[in-house]
Amino acid sequence: MEDTLNDASSLAIELAPARQRRPMLEIAGLCKSFGALEVLRDVSVVVSPGEVVVVIGPSGSGKTTLLRCINLLEEYERGTIAVDGEPIGYRTDGRSGRRARMSEREIARARERIGMVFQSFNLFPHMNVLQNIVAAPVRVRRIERRQAEARARELLAMVGLSDKVAEYPIRLSGGQQQRVAIARALAMDPKIMLFDEVTSALDPELVGEVLAAMQQLAGDGMTMVVVTHEMSFARDIADRILFIDGGVIVEEGKPDQLLFAPQTERVGAFLKRYNDRYRI
């Protein structure tokens, strides 16, 4: 058993060295302002395939905006973003440095391979669970309906909601809705998943089931960028943690290092306040 595993992994390394080394997400020099307010200042992040990056920081620090810029739900003034080597949102002319916005069609196409889960679930209330999950695969990626439904059932089983296939969102609890939202995003077979404070709107007892689903996803090797307040979850799931404040990445590092031995004072103060109340 061990031999075959080793063989498989070394084979994988030999076969696709380039793909392994190419970052899944590259953000360079991102700048965004809301009017006069500078929300993101020259932010750069690189995320490798299969890596789980957690973004933490105080309210208004720009972490949600950062996430929303990745799939261009927010426009930004400067910087480049590329997913799996392909630019998204804007193309920058190498020579002149000027950038051109990609067409709506190109942007929509790019968004297909980026999955996003929102704080307020955002399920479509006029469709039941199954319809919510298959709507995009069938209508956007033109996958055959039967195939899409089979996949949907697989995903629902994975998040533990097989029995809710025909329910309408209004009949589900917050935690259940959020898990359906995760399944919906996964149904598009994304290369990377973005999570925007997905447990903040949930009652405490419902948080666990969502975090468990995310853990499983991470274990399966999905590249994830997670914005969250849940520090203990951050420690459990993150390969790397980024601390953002005032639109700048103040510090980044491995969980045990950043959370327990932060190098900057701002991070220390933030964590101390958190620790006093919750204990990581």
Partner 1 sequence: MKELGPLIHSFWYLLRGAGMTVLMATSAVVPATLLGVLLALLHVFGGWLLRSAILGYLFLIRGIPLLVLLTFVYYLMPLTGIDLPPFWGVVLVISLYYAAFVSEVFRAGILSLPQAQWDAARSLGMTRRLMLQIVVLPQALRLSAPPYVSLCVSLVKATSLVSIVGLWELTMAPFQIFIGAAAIYFCICYTLALYGRHLERRVLLGH
Q: Can you give the binding site for partner 1, defined by CB under 8 A? A: 71, 73, 104-105, 108-116, 118, 120, 122-126, 135-136, 139-141, 170, 184-185, 188
Residue 136 beta carbon to partner 1: minimum distance, rounded to whole angstroms: 4
Burial of 29 (0-12, 13-18, 19+ CB in 10 A): middle
231: its two tokens: 């520090």
User: In whole angstroms, how far apart are CA 79 and each of 53, 76, 88, 111?
Assistant: 20, 8, 11, 18
**Angle at Cα 160 formed by Cα 159 and Cα 165, nearest 5°?**
95
Do residues 224 and 217 lie in contact, with contact meaning Cβ atoms separated by under 8 Å? yes
Residue 125 beta carbon to partner 1: minimum distance, rounded to whole angstroms: 6
The residue type found at 261 is A
- Cα–Cα distance, 120 to 197 (Å, whole number): 9
Residue 133 beta carbon to partner 1: minimum distance, rounded to whole angstroms: 10
62 vs 255, beta carbon nearer partner 1: 62
- What does residue 32 show for φ and ψ, rounded to 5 degrees? -140, 135
98 vs 142, beta carbon nearer partner 1: 142
118 vs 233, beta carbon nearer partner 1: 118
84: its two tokens: 């799996």
188 vs 210, beta carbon nearer partner 1: 188
Residue 137 beta carbon to partner 1: minimum distance, rounded to whole angstroms: 9
141 vs 229, beta carbon nearer partner 1: 141
96 vs 103, beta carbon nearer partner 1: 103
Beta strand 78-83 with 52-56 is unpaired
Residue partners of 164: CB distance under 8 A and separation at least 6: 129, 156, 172, 176, 180
Radius of gyration of the chain (CA): 19
Residue 240 beta carbon to partner 1: minimum distance, rounded to whole angstroms: 24
Residue 272 beta carbon to partner 1: minimum distance, rounded to whole angstroms: 34
- Cα–Cα distance, 56 to 227 (Å, whole number): 6
11 vs 140, beta carbon nearer partner 1: 140
Residue 98 beta carbon to partner 1: minimum distance, rounded to whole angstroms: 25
